[in-house]
Structure 1
Amino acid sequence: MRMSVIGCGYLGAVHAAAMASIGHEVVGIDVDARKIDALSKGEAPFFEPGLPEILRDGVASGRLSFTTDMAAAHGAKVHFIGVGTPQRADGYAADLTYVNAAVDALLPHLSAGDIVAGKSTVPVGTAAELAERVEATGATLVWNPEFLREGWAVQDTIDPDRLVVGVPGGSDVSTHSARSTTGETAADVLREVYHPAVAKGTPFIVTDLATAELVKVAANAFLATKISFINAMAEIAEVTGADVTQLADAIGHDARIGRRFLGAGIGFGGGCLPKDIRAFSARAEELGRGESVAFLREVDEINLRRRDRAVQLVVDGLGGTVFEKKIAVLGAAFKPHSDDIRDSPALDVAVRLHGLGARVVVTDPEAIDNARAKHPQLTYETSRDETIRDADAVILVTEWDEYRRELPPEHASTLTRGRVVVDGRNGLDAAAWRAAGWTYYGMGRP
């Protein structure tokens, strides 16, 4: 099938390359000429495992191309909208500027029978507002939210755990109305788009437009709530002497709860969870149902408090001040297997320590260039060992394996000046570090 992908950022570039890898003919379209030039050469403009390989293969095969010319979308059967929806500068609401601009630019190139599939995370009700414009061309608007995990985005696109498609008229086709018939046809086209996943039995859920929009933000809200819940338990553990890691293990055995996303630490970040729960809260207020998701404000606040706690542990570990002390910060990306620094708790902690007068040195396997561009006031070092050399304290803030598993405390002792380690992700072996002579501080641990 021939398809276009509008927006070639993180979501769009991965989606375009993944669709080409399963046999479709794909053109990616973006206004950023530099990005398009890199992608056209088969070069990924950001770090994502597995993307360079399928990107190069797609371009070399001729199935995948990139351009800044929206006219290239003409003739495609399906047009995916994958542009960003950042938080607005004047509040918590999502900025839909890029979504509206993408749809408006696409409209002149649509033909009757085309499918416009929104993938961007948007406030519920957005699709209904866009549908009238799209349907005036004879095309159909559907909403097909993404559920990508950075670091596993290629796998999650090609082999997702579920596929959700919101269509006009929803899943109830019993009325045989024109809209329900159109929606059923659109759903069949999306089944063809994702044929390898559908053939292996991946759940394919057809809903109305509003439900599809809500599925995405509800999933993110739930995950954020689960992370902040265990961090709230960490706050209680810290004043009672309990160990939050053992608590998480114990309650995680309950199949209704599960252990995943119960890792206490410095909290979540990135380009999705923080801005999505804030946008959800803002949209609920607009709908007159702000009280329904009022708890998300506290979820956000708990998350931000854990960054404060990590900084305070470093200060406490160094006797009450970090002024002119060297602090080695292990990590800059908001999570491992990514170079994404958007709302990164790791960088936030580094910046706060710098603001207290510490000599902060940051390292990360992939995110240094992005971090330096955002926070040039910090010092960066590509070598892990050079980062911790002569440090008075070390803090783990992104759980890359080379810090969490591959840094023996005995080896670290030969390089540092001090013996204070703050485990901002509870990813280190506390007993091993203490046995090697270190003062170990965890998050919600004795």
Structure 2
Amino acid sequence: MERESMEFDVLIVGGGPAGLSAACRVMQLAQEAGEELTVCVVEKGSEIGAHILAGTVFEPTALNELFPDWKEKGAPLNTPVTRDDIFLLKNQDSATKIPNAFVPKNMHNHGNYIISLGNLCRWLAEQAEGLGVEVYPGFAAAETIVEDGQVKGIITGDMGVARDGSEKDGYMPGMELRAKYTLFTEGCRGHLGKRLVNEFKLDEGKDPQHYGIGIKELWDIDPAKHEPGLVVHTTGWPLKETGSTGGSFLYHLENGQVYVGLITDLSYSNPHLSPFEEFQRLKLHPEIKKHLEGGKRVSYGARAITKGGYNALPKMSFPGGLLLGCDAGTLNGSKIKGSHTAMKSGMLGAEAVFEALKDGKSGEEISSFQKKFEDSWLFKELYAERNFGPAMHKFGNIVGGAIAYFEQNILRGSLPITFHDTTP
């Protein structure tokens, strides 16, 4: 049975913040120039947002650029941050609140919002479709199409395959989706992104990438304890007992709910460490328990986090496409945020692709992307925080935090040296 084939000007793999921002931006540029482009987003989830597992503190910098009138358009940013609390958990019973004056500048959240990232992605998809983007949820990209050294698109997964690999009665082969340029925005450790990094040697000369696992729960809590806009972060216990690094978060959003979670760096060496069990212990600490007691867990999940930062960021362009967002690793670890950086990378990718298409290119590497990236606030932000992750991993959260404070609050810029963390 032959595969069906569809062709587009731009194909975007992944319906998260980076991919949807890229789709919106490239169509905005096309409409401003009076050009007609075909743009398609494929998303493996059953609907946009289905695989987005993030209740997050969101910085609206990129959204302000993409849709300056997002408030009028009804973007779901409903809970502005009202207060930041950071605690050093000493043991299972005690904690010390870190005075705001000693908190690294990047961890202050004035002007940010507590949001459901899934809801924001659903809203971005609506804007994309309104601009003329074709959005196809429920289609997982299984393979890349590489011809003559250029990426030409992707093949979606076959339908109707039995567990043993045989074809069932309703078997349908996956479709070929071809494009002049394909943008890969699959999120952390995207399986096609990993292959592209290896195939085109995009990580040559870079530090090893670093990862974390974030376990998160959504709770309905006692209305008397609810403080919309409160942001709480912790470091220290319980991870310090095993010599591991990471930290926890608790965010009060609207409707009497909170997000609570623990991020564990996956560089831990203790084979007995269980991030899940550590999270259960964390919830019994008095500083966390006081928010949750009397409440009810509504949902839970986990996701991987690409957190190597600037030093581990691969080359993002290759013949026929770009690697963007968390597929590349644009998260800003010092801010504990990656959505605004993912969105900006998608917007920069869209601008570079549009210029290439306007010049009549199709499949040639977009070498201009690197300069566009280096001229952006995204590059400046990631470069300025390049020492944050390595300092935390090498010296621990206390000394690492002190280095971050010195860079951000005293120097108001980075040290003239670069720390490297070569242990994955």
Q: TM-score range by the shorter chain?
A: under 0.3
Higher relative contact order (CA 8 A, sep 6+): 2
TM-score normalised per structure 2: 0.28
Larger % of strand: which?
2
> What's the TM-score once normalised by structure 1's chain length?
0.27
Highest CA radius of gyration, 1 or 2? 1
Point out the structure with the larger helix share.
Answer: 1
